Structure formats: C-alpha cells, structure tokens
Structure 1
Amino acid sequence: MKTLLAAITATTLALAPSPSPDGLNQSLDPRQPVASGRTVLQAGHVDLGPRYQDNRWTIQVHDGTAVPSVWRQPSEVVLRVRDAAIERVPDDPAYAFLEQTAGTPVYVVPQTQNQDVVWLGWNTQEPGVMASVTRGVTMHLLGVQGPGSVVTYLQSGNLGAPQVLWHSARPYPQPLWVETNTHTHANWIFSKPGVYLLAIEITADLVDGRQVSGRDMLRFAVGDSASADEAFTAAFAGRLPSTGATPPAAAAPARESAAGGPGVGTVALVAAAVLLVALLVWLSIRGARARRRAIDEPEARS
C-alpha cells in the first residue's frame, strides 16, 4: 500500500476555475437536467453544490460521470469509496490532526483524481447561483454519523501544511466560506469502513437582500463490503445544530420574508387586529358613558 503522504499530490488552493491539468476547469450549462432514480457513484468526477432555480434554493450533486453531465438529488446518490482508496497514515507530525496511529489503513478520496476512486469536490458555478448570490456561500458541516471519523482537508501543490476544513471530532456546526464561481476538490479521509451520513447546510445572501438556506445529506458506503442499500435508507439519528440561517421553507419565494422573521403580510394582520381591539374598547367605553348620562339626567330633573 502507498502511504497517504505519497498519495496526495494536491491541487493549488486557487478556488476560481482556470485552465489546469487536474480537471478543475469547467463551466456548467444552465440547461443541465436533474436526473431521477437511485445511483451509486464509485469512480469519476462528482461535485456537491447549491442550485437556485425558479426562486428555489437546493443542494444537489453534480454528476460528471454521466454524458452529458446531470444534477441529482443527494437522497438518490450513494458515494461508494472502494477498497482501492485504502492508504496508510504516514509517520509525519503534519498529519497528527487525523488522530490515527502511523501505518493505520484509512480510506482516502484524494484531492487529485484517482481513476479508481470517486473524485468528490464542490462547486458554486450553477448559473442561477452565480447570477443571484452576492459574493459566495457558506457550507456548514452539521454532523457526521458513521462507524469512524471523517476529515476533509486541503493541501497546497508544494505539499505545504494541511488545511483542515471539516473534522467530525470537532464541535458543530463547522462553517466553510466558498466564493461564487468556485470549483475545488479536497482530501476526504474515512477512518473505518461502513455507512456514513454527512449533514450539510449551504447558506447565502442574495443580491435582492434575502438570505437562502438548504440542508441535505451526503451518503457514503465506504469499503467494498459496505451496503449501498443501507446507505440509501439510513436516517440521521442525532439532533442537528442550528446555524442561525433562514429556515429553508422561508427562503425560496421572493415574496416571503428575507430574514426569517414575520413578513409584511403578517405584520399588517397583527396591526389590523390591534386597531380592531382598540376600536372595540373605545366603543365599549363610549357606550358605558352614554348609558350613565341617560341614568343621571332623569334623576337631575326630578
């Protein structure tokens, strides 16, 4: 087995797409369809990313293994990390963040493509996102469920110090800022075989002042023996943290509230109700005074 250190000949940290030999140069067709049906992706180019279509913000999987490329719903995708991904943790203090003993076998989805392993990255290049988002998005890791740990990190092309992005042993949520028109790949390390769920939330501020937010699960079957069927049906058992972002239901239509608070229609209804109550109280007081005068006046004449 190769060591993890030898396996990682990573891309540079330049996040905007530019001509390069590592496959990061791409542009997305606004007409790319959304495919349906369960799919297991175990080799080839795959990206996680937000989409903004018809005033609806979603998280989807861009499947570059299909010809032509398609978008897929995360609930219908299992990312299989085969035994071909097994590497050994190097005897190097720079990788102490993996919290694994040197020589321990781990499953590596590498930052640069291995033709035998699914190549997972993320992009913010969907045309609706690029036209509607102010500067970028925040990708939050909300939780990890699985038999072992998961670590996602970047490493520069000159084998500089690893930059840890997400670590399942750290508190949640774990935010990651990504500018628009970004396409990048990272190293994903799974410490044990089995089924993993990664809860992801992506939020953004739109040019019209609204905030949008969406949540979904990435599903992994790590190792040749892991069950893809189990990964499709697995449910996240824990409670996911709040990021303070607008709930997804309040983020889609343009007519809804921008910050998750009460909308204009709600405020108007509340104001009308307050005015109605005040009017009823005033009429009640006025009626009581009139009745009192009617009683007092005959007594005064007698």
Structure 2
Amino acid sequence: MSAMKKKIALLAASFTMAFAPLAAAQPADPALEQQVSADEEVSSEPAVISSGHVDMGPHRGEDGSLQLLLRDDSGTDPVWRTPDSVTFGVGEAAELVVPEDDAYDFLKADPGQTVWVVPQTEVADVPWLGWNTQSPTIDDIVGTGVELEILEHRGPGDHSLFIQAGGFSDPDVLWTGAKHDSIFVEPDTHTHANWVFTEPGPHEVTVRATIDAPDGNEYTSDARLQFAVGIDPATYTRPDDSMITEEESDYTWLIIGGVAALVAVVIVALIARATRRKDTAGGAK
C-alpha cells in the first residue's frame, strides 16, 4: 500500500469511528445524564461556541409561548441561548476525510474529500451539538413528544445529519439539506448526532419544533442555527437566497422521468418519420 493510500485509509477509519455513538455506553456519560432545572437563565447575548456541550431544545417563556433555544453548558452554569445570538465555530479540529464506502453517498462528497463534522461523540475543540426535550417548562404540554423538522439549509455545498450505532453499522440518515425530513423525539430525551458540512463557509440550518399538546393546542417555534465552517466565526454573515439547498422530492423525479420518456417518444417518432420518407423516396425512383 502506498503512503498516500495508507494515509487515506487511516483517515477513513478515523472518520467512521468519529461517527460511532457508542450507544451502549451513553447512559454512563455525565453529559447525557444531565438534569435540567426550570430556573436556568435565558440569554440573547452574542456568543461564539467552538467547543463544549450544547443542546437544541423546546423551552417555554413566561408568557407561555414556545421557543426553540440552545442550552449551552460549555461554561460553569447552563444558559439557554437564543439561536440567532450564537455562532458555532467549526474549525480544523472538525475536519475528517470521507471513506471509500457507498454507505456515505448521501453526504454528496467524494471519497477522500475533506468534510467538517460536528460529531455525535464529543471531540476536543469542536462543538458537541445535540437536542433535548428535558426543559421542565414544557412538561405540561409535551404530551407524547416533540416533532423536529429541518426546513432549510443555506450555505456552500451540502449538509447532512445522521446517527451511527457503532463503528461498523450503516449510518441512519435523519436529515439532508436536499431532503427535509422530520424526526419525532420522546419527552425527557437527550440525543446527539453527526452534523456534516461538505464545504467551508457560512452555513445556516433552520429547524422547527412542533408540540401537539394533550389539550388540543399546537405549539411551534423555528430556530436558525449558524455555523462558521472552516472560517473565522467573527466573519460570519448570513448566507443569501442563492445558497439555499434545493430540496429533492419523489415528485421532482417523476417529472424528470416523464420528460425523459416524452423526449424518447419524440425521438422514436422522428426516426420513424425519417425512415418512411427514405422508403418513399426510394420507391419513387
């Protein structure tokens, strides 16, 4: 094996292991066993988070409205932060190389390509971003759980979110920038996953939380998560409309297939017409 191939193989192994959640060991992780209290501070002060533990989660304000906030306990005391006040710094420590494995085709990145990963398991000097439904402020409305839905990805390249249950299992794709799925999260739950970005630059991922309360009321709130990927967080500016990832759908592919079939029919008709003309011209001699 050449030195270059050996390097890529080692990096690929690191990539796969970085995506392993060690699910069986999670209950022993103090961060995943966290206790959330009702009196934790809510802040809109600007913050850059480049390492440490953060959870996205639904939280009710004093007026009873629902907010999708970021619970930051990377410091001494946990603080619920408004998402538009937070920029996640995703730097060199988050870089991994895509392995030669078809299971990662959904990333839309070539084998050997560098991507930036906010990982499922904590890594030094990289934000550790998950989500929780543990705020006591939602206890009386949460019912059976919370629906989280990705609405939009803005930024260069592509974005994906997935969970991997061990180093040798296939990834379980939750969202991609081009397929806006939703997941259902049970009450009092705390989860982490892999957030992958294929290109450096400013990225924004918009997420919606929806709760169907037992009394029949619906609560909903959106959050725009800001990621400075491979760039200085101080230079972050919101990606414009030209950087929105186009969503793929089955309907789109039906249209493409229909157009392709129509083109094929037209080509066949033209060939048949040309053949008839040729035969007619030959018979007239």
If the length of structure 1 is used for normalisation, what is the TM-score?
0.72
User: Is residue 25 from structure 1 mapped to residue 33 from structure 2 by the alignment?
Assistant: yes
CA contact (8 A) 1:51 1:128 kept: yes
CA contact (8 A) 1:193 1:222 kept: yes
In the superposition, relative to structure 1, how do residues 102 and 22 fare at CA in structure 2: closer, same or farther (>3 Å)? Answer: farther
Give the match for residue 85 of structure 1: 94
User: Is residue 8 from structure 1 mapped to residue 19 from structure 2 by the alignment?
Assistant: yes
SS of equivalent residue, structure 1 residue 121: strand
Give the 5 Å matches for 1:1-302.
2-3=11-12, 4-12=15-23, 19-21=27-29, 23-54=31-62, 55-157=64-166, 159-170=168-179, 172=180, 174-223=181-230, 226-231=231-236, 233-234=237-238, 237=241
Distance 2:226 2:151 in 1: 14
**Which has the higher mean CA deviation after the structures are superposed, 122-131 or 72-81?**
122-131
Distance 1:178 1:158 in 2: 24
Distance 1:81 1:140 in 2: 23
Distance 2:93 2:57 in 1: 26
Deviation at 1:97, TM superposition (A): 1.7
Distance 1:160 1:130 in 2: 35
User: Structure 1: which 5+ runs fail to align?
Assistant: 242-302
Distance 2:91 2:238 in 1: 19
Percent identity of paired positions between Structure 1 and Structure 2: 36
The CA deviation string for residues 147-199 of structure 1, in whole angstroms up to 9 with x for no partner, is: 110000001136322100010122x4x21111111100001111011000111
Give the match for residue 280 of structure 2: none
Q: Which is greater in Rg?
A: 1
Deviation at 1:6, TM superposition (A): 3.3
Give the match for residue 297 of structure 1: none
Residue identity opposite 1:88 in structure 2: V
Residue identity opposite 2:120 in structure 1: Q
CA contact (8 A) 1:200 1:216 kept: yes
Give the match for residue 251 of structure 2: none
SS of equivalent residue, structure 1 residue 6: helix
**Length, aligned pairs only:** 233
SS of equivalent residue, structure 2 residue 143: strand
Q: CA RMSD in A?
A: 2.3
The CA deviation string for residues 109-161 of structure 1, in whole angstroms up to 9 with x for no partner, is: 11111022110100010001233211111111001000110000001136322
